[in-house]
Amino acid sequence: MMANAMAAPKDEGRVLSGPETAALVLLSLDEDTAADVMRHLNEEDLLQIAKVVDDLDPIPYDCLGPALETFEKRLREPVVSGKGGEYMRKLAEHALGAEKANRLFAPPEPPPPTALKRLHHARTGLLADLLIEEHPQVAAVIVSQLPPGQASKVLRAMPEDMQLELISRISMLEEIPRDALTVASEAIVVGLDAAGGSGGTDKRTTFDGIAFCASLLNELPSDDTERLLEELEENDVEQAPKIREAMFIFEDLANLDKRSLQTLMREISSESLLTSLRTASDSVRDVFFSAVSSRAAETMREDLELMPPKRLTEVEEAQRDVIESAMRLAAEGQITMPGGGSDEMV
């Protein structure tokens, strides 16, 4: 900003930057005037001046004349505020009064909510009943566009066989036909209105069905989640493991009970474990440290500090390896995953 406001004066020995020019101008003013000017500078400008002012000691007097000439020339030039809307509002308030200016410059009224947005406020039971009457693919598309918390409630209000059908269909969604979604959501809103329960240019939009199913299942009680995943594994071997993996992130390992965490740590090499903790928060690291002796924890802390820099891809790969080990141990019944339906521990 300041660099654009003042061109750097030149002499035979030195070229000053914009902040240096501004610093010289301030140094040439009397104390009261300089202080008044500085009160009108923003924090970014003051930081720029602070960074260069020490380099101007002693003051290069051969540059002072050109700096002041540049400043005087800039003063004669017209200045247009960089924030045109804000400046125009101030002018309007001064000329017309605050009330009229606010009315003239008020933001436009938001458009009426779309049918899909209205579904976000629909009564759960009624929405579920209407979706049961729809083709499963249409119902799956509609449910996929609801917030996960609402989607899980709608899903629970449906028969179990349809729950499985929708989870399977949503997990395979990779794009949503926008026109079909609009038509379907509008039709359902009509049904909601009749029952008193309603509270871009691209033709399609990308959609991550696996991630949505993971979010949806995480909102369900653990028993329902495990039942649906087990049934899905029986019917769709390819999608079920992907959903299980998406439901779990590295930070979730901090929710393992101490015995499960110790079992997991024994399965992982020290290097892989330390690499996986490289980007982990202090709270997650502390959980891992608490699962070992104080001496071992101190050694891990020291090793982390001395570890050379790692590529982010290496850290992410190590975290995936740890998660996969946890999933395998959980499948073997050796550990209990957070939120899992099994109580078996060995």
Tens of pLDDT along 307-317? Answer: 888 888 888 88
- Measure Cα distances from 66 to 7, 15, 16, 46 in Å: 10, 10, 10, 22
250-331 shares the fold of 115-229: yes
Tokens read off for 99: 């009330």
Q: What's the pLDDT score for residue 105?
A: 64
For 318, the enclosing helix (H) or strand (E) is: helix 312-331
Is the backbone peptide bond immediately before 58 cis, with ω within 30 degrees of 0? Answer: yes
Residue 2 in this model has a pLDDT that exceeds 50? no
Whole-number Å distance between alpha carbons of 27 and 64: 10
Average pLDDT over the chain, rounded to an integer: 77
Residue 198's SS3 state is coil
Residues 265-279 have pLDDT tens digits of 999 998 999 999 988
Interacting residues of 240 by C-beta distance below 8 A, sequence separation 6+: 229, 232, 233
The full set of domain ranges for the chain reads 2-76, 115-229, 250-331
Q: Is 30 exposed, middle or buried (0-12, 13-18, 19+ CB in 10 A)?
A: exposed
Quickly state the pLDDT bin for 104 (edges 50, 70, 90): low
Q: How far apart are CA 196 and CA 14, in angstroms?
A: 78
- What's the CATH number for 115-229? 1.10.220.30
In 3-state terms, what secondary structure has residue 204?
strand
Q: Which pLDDT does position 202 carry in this prediction? A: 40
C-beta separation of 239 from 171 below 8 A? yes
Backbone torsion region of residue 194, taken as left when φ is above 0, otherwise alpha when ψ lies between -120 and 50, otherwise beta: alpha
Identify the pLDDT of residue 264.
Answer: 92
Q: What is the pLDDT of residue 11?
A: 43
Q: Is the pLDDT of residue 110 over 70?
A: no
Is residue 234 within 8 A of residue 161, CB to CB? The reply is no
**Cα torsion through 229, 231, 232, 236, rounded to 10:** 140
Contact predicate 173/144, CB 8 Å: yes
What count of other Cβ atoms lies within 10 Å of the Cβ of residue 46?
A: 14
Given this structure, which CATH class describes domain 250-331? mainly alpha
